[in-house]
Amino acid sequence: MNKPIIFSITDQDSVSLNNVRAITIRGLGEGEPIEALSSVGNEFRIKDIVNPNQQVYVVLDRDLNFSTSLGINVHGIIGYDLFRDFVVEINYSAQHIKFHDPRYYRKKKSKRSETLPLTIIDNKAYLDGAVVFANEKEVPVNLLVDTGSSDAVWLFQDLEKGLGVPDSYYEDFLGKGLNGDIFGKRTKVEKVRIGSFVLADAKAAFPEMNSFSSIKDLGNRNGSLGGEILRRFNVVFDYRAGEVTLKKNNLFREPFRYNLSGIEVQHNGMRYVAESLADASGVAYQEDDSFGNVQLLLENRTRLSLVPEIIVSTIRAGSPAAEAGLQEGDVILAVNGKPVHRYKIQEIIQMLNEREGKQVRVLIERYNKDLLFSFVLKKLFE
């Protein structure tokens, strides 16, 4: 995004905006453009970073909500202009981000790091790389650097260039855009190369191009590079110098993970859960950035907790979970005997997709009835 976007505004939130006008925003997804407010002359602050004259966009549609699928409260997206004014260092393994004043920043030299050209076009960053398919032919690609994507690499089908969907693939939900859901074909490629770094058996997807209807001209772009690859590096973006520095971290050799169960989950509000204190082994907590627990202790030594409700948001046709009988809208109560309200949503996803060949038991609630389903996680690609 060019400018910061604010969304997920609730009745309890109060935001004072200056010089407001109505606009529409077009983004990825199959839906219609969304209505928003453009506001200029605002003070924008992140810790000690202050812009006294920041333009922001505010989306009032409450349906635009990434918090439910991420499991943490998300109120917006940082824009290009913050990256433009600083050297931005993202350390995925340490989970921190640093903003350096370009006037005083000195690049750290390391034999394990590599600095690559970064092209800025229309306030967006692009990086050259290559992909290798089963025929071992390397295909050069120009990729949008999408730090907001949790996927690995998206590729646009172009048979003349050699970008064709491999024989082994499955239809999948790829993510959410500003204008709706994005679907496509999920597959893997032999290799993805960025500079001299090579990632083998890399997760890849070919999105349906109607999700990109808001982009009038894709130019030389062949796809997107997302967080599933970027998180394997410590990354330093220097937009002014037109370069990015990558350094492998301890996540580099982790295998790429797939949705083996076929289940996508999300938060769906809150629900009460009663537990006997003799049976309750977990300690409830509240975190500032997550959907926490609120507890009531009753006289009969039963703990009544207000916890997040986790539901099946989408389910892939033909997947193990679908064949077992799970459905969209099912409320997930437990996975392999573990109550899901004690875990973060990322941990629940991992429990559902631990490894090929593992048997998974899912206890759900459907129409006020508890049902238990069991299925085995199957290998997706040979």
Three-state DSSP string of 267-288:
EEEEEEEEEECCCCCCCCCCCC
Phi and psi at residue 351, to the nearest 5°: -65, -35
Domains of the chain in start order, with CATH, are 5-78 (no CATH), 88-248 (2.40.70.10), 263-272+307-376 (2.30.42.10)
User: What's the predicted TM-score (pTM) here?
Assistant: 0.83
pLDDT number for residue 116: 96
Q: Are 226 and 154 in contact (CB under 8 A)?
A: yes
Q: What is the rounded average pLDDT for all residues in the chain?
A: 86
Higher-pLDDT residue of 201, 19: 201
310 has pLDDT over 50: yes
Mean pLDDT, residues 245-249: 94
206-230 per-position pLDDT tens digit: 999 887 776 767 788 999 999 999 9
Among residues 260, 258, 262, 257, the alpha carbon closest in space to that of 328 is found at 262
List own/partner pairs for 268-271 with CB under 8 A and 24 or more apart: 268/68, 268/309, 268/310, 268/311, 268/331, 269/308, 269/309, 270/306, 270/307, 270/308, 270/309, 271/306, 271/307, 271/308, 271/309, 271/331
pLDDT category of residue 280 using cuts at 50, 70 and 90: very low
pLDDT number for residue 299: 55
Among residues 151, 221, 160, the alpha carbon closest in space to that of 188 is found at 151
Mean pLDDT, residues 260-277: 82
Gap between the Cα atoms of 206 and 292, Å rounded: 36
Mean pLDDT, residues 253-258: 90
Provide the token pair at 277.
């204190």
380 has pLDDT over 90: no
The residue behind tokens 């290798």 is 132
Least confident of 280-289, 307-316, 338-347, 354-363: 280-289
pLDDT number for residue 292: 59
Phi and psi at residue 181, to the nearest 5°: -75, 155
Higher-pLDDT residue of 282, 182: 182
Q: Are 308 and 297 in contact (CB under 8 A)?
A: no
315 has pLDDT over 50: yes
Return the number of other C-beta atoms located less than 10 Å from residue 46's C-beta: 12
274 has pLDDT over 70: yes
pLDDT category of residue 284 using cuts at 50, 70 and 90: very low
Mean pLDDT, residues 306-310: 84
pLDDT number for residue 13: 64
Gap between the Cα atoms of 175 and 188, Å rounded: 17
Mean pLDDT, residues 297-314: 76
pLDDT category of residue 382 using cuts at 50, 70 and 90: low
pLDDT category of residue 109 using cuts at 50, 70 and 90: confident
pLDDT number for residue 285: 44
Could you give the 3-state DSSP secondary structure of residue 209?
A: helix
Which string of DSSP letters, residue by residue, matches 317-382?
Answer: TTSHHHHHT--TTPEEEEETTEEGGGS-HHHHHHHHTS-TT-EEEEEEEETTEEEEEEEEPPP---
23-75 per-position pLDDT tens digit: 888 877 777 788 888 888 888 888 889 988 888 888 877 667 776 777 677 88
